[in-house]
Amino acid sequence: MSRSACFPSRAAFALCLGFGLTACGEQGPEVQRGVPLEYVARQDGETVIPAVSPAYLNERNRRQWVDYTGPEPVGSLVVDPYARFLYHIYEPGRAMRFGIAVGREGRGFRGNATILRREEYPYWTPTANMVRQEPETYAALAAGLPGGLDNPLGARALYLYRDGVDTMYRIHGTMDPSSIGKATSAGCIRLFNQDIVDLFDESGLGMRVKVRSPEESLAMEGPVVELSTGYLVSASDTAAIEADKRMVEAAAAAAARAAVAAPAALATAG
């Protein structure tokens, strides 16, 4: 049982443990309608991985074939924590791109690494620091949590090493599919469980991984803007940025009107 630096936000973790997978955005067979084939519910050994809600499958989140012009060799993975993408390079100039969620730990490493450990439904143990700082959340789990869909590492995990030393950097599944495409308060690099299962099957020990720096991300992906939803868009997508701005302004105006109306309503009721 090894400790992992990857873990969910406190709120997400408490929600998932307290109310189960439905509270974390996972849904039952009824979600199959309108779900792309790669994200429908699937049998994984004795476990059924629920379908991914179409609400989470925006253009940047859904896996897709893309042209790739980076310098990394065929057969390697490239993680971009800043554009929130992961690339699996299949052939010169061509890659499969996945949307990812990135936690604080996911932005704390850059450069080259190698996959030297692979686990299906990995065990997860909170660090001593987590238990010490948030005992009300993690003390009861100090001995660890068995693998499963309610585990922060999800269905699979790939463990990155540099010069034979564990970097504590993980590429893994998720207990919270609504987080994919967003920045989270904690954790490493997480994918939809369907994506990490397929990526796991196509990866192997010794596979090379490149984690981009902010400068490399900007050079390869261009500037991005985070919307009020938590999702990123290209800075050139002015339509999406303006629409988000109008939505935020409308919500603020509605809240202001409600604040003004509330005292008057109380006075009338009195």
| pLDDT above 90: percentage of residues in the chain | 66
Split at pLDDT 50, 70, 90, the class of 265 is low
pLDDT surpassing 50 at residue 149: yes
Residue pair 147/121 in contact (Cβ under 8 Å)? The answer is yes
Extended strands (E) in 69-223: 77-80, 85-91, 94-99, 101-102, 111-120, 156-162, 165-172, 189-190, 208-211
pLDDT in tens, 150-197: 998 999 999 999 999 999 899 999 999 999 999 987 778 999 999 999
Q: What is the DSSP letter of 143?
A: T
Residues 6+ apart with CB under 8 A from 31: 41, 50, 51, 52, 53, 54
* Predicted local distance difference test score (pLDDT) of residue 139: 86
Average model confidence (pLDDT) across the chain: 87
| Residues labelled catalytic | 172, 188
Specify the pLDDT at position 136: 86
At 86-138, the pLDDT tens digits run: 999 999 999 999 999 998 777 889 999 999 999 999 998 877 777 888 888 77
Categorize the per-residue pLDDT at 145 as very low, low, confident or very high, splitting at 50, 70 and 90.
Answer: confident
Residue 98, pLDDT score: 98
Which amino acid is present at 7?
F
pLDDT tens track for 201-210: 999 999 999 9
Q: Which residue has the higher pLDDT, 146 or 89?
A: 89
Mean pLDDT of the region 54-67: 96
Residue 19: predicted pLDDT: 35
Please state the pTM of the whole predicted model: 0.84
Is 10-222 in CATH node 3.40.710.10?
no
pLDDT of 2 > 70? The answer is no
Distance CA 180, CA 2 (A): 25
Residue of 192 and 263 predicted with greater confidence:
192
Can you give 232-253 as a three-state secondary structure string?
Answer: EEECCCHHHHHHHHHHHHHHHH
Q: Which residue has the tokens 């692979």?
A: 118
pLDDT value, residue 170: 93
* Lowest mean pLDDT across 29-38, 81-90, 137-146: 29-38
